Structure 1
Amino acid sequence: MDIEIAADSDSGDVLRIQTEAFGHDKEANLVNRLLNDDTARPLLSLLAVDRKEAVGHILFTRVRITGNEDAVSAMILAPLAVLPKAQGTGVGGKLIEEGLYRLAESKVDLVFVLGHPGYYPRFGFQPAGIRGFEAPYPIPEKDAAAWMVQELRPGVIGNVYGKIICADPLDEPEHWRE
């Protein structure tokens, strides 16, 4: 399997993967909006290709941290999608690992995710709220562990705090509710 940067010409595959993975087009529409929105840039869009077939996609877009806009480079992982027939085979993990590696190489300090608290910690994510990072919209206490952060540059967590401001398409309340 190869992990590659998704090109503009891959948009059909990207949107198909998002739609098939989630069983509807809500995430595909969000991805399409993010890919075409200046407030999401810089961004990283990766495609997993297995035997010449695109089977997974991950998107990281820029976020700002109030009061720390110039001091910290941060991104959010949203969303991660794998075709149903390829789920459970490690495709998602490979996309996450490659994305985090590329972001670290490009000097990104922090990566956030709102996701399954049983899945993302195995890739180094930790609860973000208790570390001083407020989600764009309130996360119910029962779901607090789903709001996570990973430090790619040591020493940032504990020295930076604030509310996360996402790209305009992701900064809508419906994306922050279960």
Structure 2
Amino acid sequence: MIKMKEDVHIREAKESDFDDVMRVEKEAFGYEKEAILVSELLEDKSAAPVLSLLAFKNDEAVGHILFTKATLNGKTSPLIYLLAPLAVKPQHQKQGIGGMLINEGLKKLKEIGAGMVFVLGHESYYPKYGFKQNAGSLGFDAPYPIPEEHAGAWMIYPLNPESSDEVKGRVICADALNKPEHWRE
């Protein structure tokens, strides 16, 4: 377990943490759609290997982030991941927990040799952590077309800048995430 702040710890989620993960997802979003997606992604062999991290504050699960394997043009190299979703319980938001989960996830993915991470997310939030907006204009198409007015929400974090310079193409995500309804901002 990694101690990030005086009272926040982050560690990889285990199977026995499933109920905590579901609780965080439901509370953070206020509905079950994201929790159902996470449950499906955790079972989806095309998403593996996943990186699922839980943040704890005083032994309570308060945040969760999920990274699932993806491909560029269906090729296995370079190793890329999608960040979806990031969830922090409402009463624990705006305390840096989401950022800690992002940074810890990016660090772990870099350690295993991942080259890039993609996210479809808030245009004012993810760039604070090094994500570059409008990945489509950089040569990385989303699994489904992103409307021009939301093009900045499709972002890339190059863990290995060489890999993002060498290869371009369409990101193909895990089967559970590869549905048009998950690609509307």
Q: Which TM class, normalised by the smaller chain length?
A: over 0.9
SS at structure 1 position matched to 2:91: helix
State the Cα distance separating 1:158 from its structure 2 match: 2.5
Superposition CA RMSD, Å:
0.8
Identity %: 54
Give the structure with the higher percent helix.
2
Counterpart in 1 of 2:179? 172
Contact 2:11–2:54 (CA under 8 A) maintained in structure 1: yes
Counterpart in 2 of 1:40? 47
Distance 1:120 1:70 in 2: 26
SS at structure 1 position matched to 2:76: coil
Counterpart in 1 of 2:136? 129
Distance 1:64 1:101 in 2: 19
Distance 1:152 1:13 in 2: 29
Distance 1:46 1:157 in 2: 25
Distance 1:129 1:47 in 2: 30
TM-score (norm: length of structure 1): 0.97
Contact 1:65–1:165 (CA under 8 A) maintained in structure 2: yes
State the Cα distance separating 1:150 from its structure 2 match: 0.6
**Aligned counterpart in structure 2 of residue 70 of structure 1, from 62, 69, 76:** 76
Unaligned runs of 5+ in 1: none
Contact 2:115–2:164 (CA under 8 A) maintained in structure 1: no
Contact 1:34–1:167 (CA under 8 A) maintained in structure 2: yes
Letter in 1 for 2:84: A
SS at structure 1 position matched to 2:157: strand
Contact 2:115–2:163 (CA under 8 A) maintained in structure 1: yes
| Count of residue pairs brought into register by the alignment | 177
